[in-house]
Amino acid sequence: MTDVFEGQCQCGDVRYRVSGTAATLFACHCTECQRQSASAFGMALWIKAADIELLSGEPKEWIRITPGGKRMACRFCPTCGTRLFHQMLGQAGIVSIKPGTLDNTKGLAPVAHIWTASRQSWIEIPEATLQYPQGPPDFEDMFAAWAQVQARTDEQA
């Protein structure tokens, strides 16, 4: 099943539409995501790059080094600065949407938490949720967990 959803930056200058199926949703507790989100963690909704359509505006780009040493392109609104997308360089097929920019954020529950070694002490992660003290060795378990959640959601609909 293909999902269609839209989102935008805080000021509305950059709008986008996604027509596809998300691969996974996770929270990252690394200090860089804490700084970027100005909060306790950042979130990432992975989607195929080909499934994203810009409806208005053109994001600017900044490249940063991840805690794991990889280079990441961070795309943001040039007017208000809202981060919209992240993408690992060399991983052209997948884009990480900052899910707080979606028009409808209801039901966005991460299936995993990464870099929990640097999480804020008051954050309580549900026991059944996948957890990694640093970055995961791969994302296969997260993909499988997300697929299970989506299958249960589809059954309830």
Q: Average pLDDT, whole number, for the chain?
A: 92
Is residue 146 within 8 A of residue 22, CB to CB? The reply is: yes
Q: Please, what is the end-to-end C-alpha distance for the chain in angstroms?
A: 13
Give the model's pLDDT for residue 152.
Answer: 83
Q: Where are the beta strands (DSSP E) in 40-154?
A: 42-48, 52-56, 60-65, 71-76, 83-88, 94-97, 112-114, 130-131
pLDDT at 66 over 90: no
Domains of the chain: residue spans and CATH:
3-156 (3.90.1590.10)
Q: Categorize the per-residue pLDDT at 3 as very low, low, confident or very high, splitting at 50, 70 and 90.
A: confident
- Read off the pTM: 0.89
pLDDT at 134 over 70: yes
pLDDT at 1 over 60: no
Is residue 75 within 8 A of residue 113, CB to CB? The reply is: no
What's the whole-number mean pLDDT along residues 39-56?
95
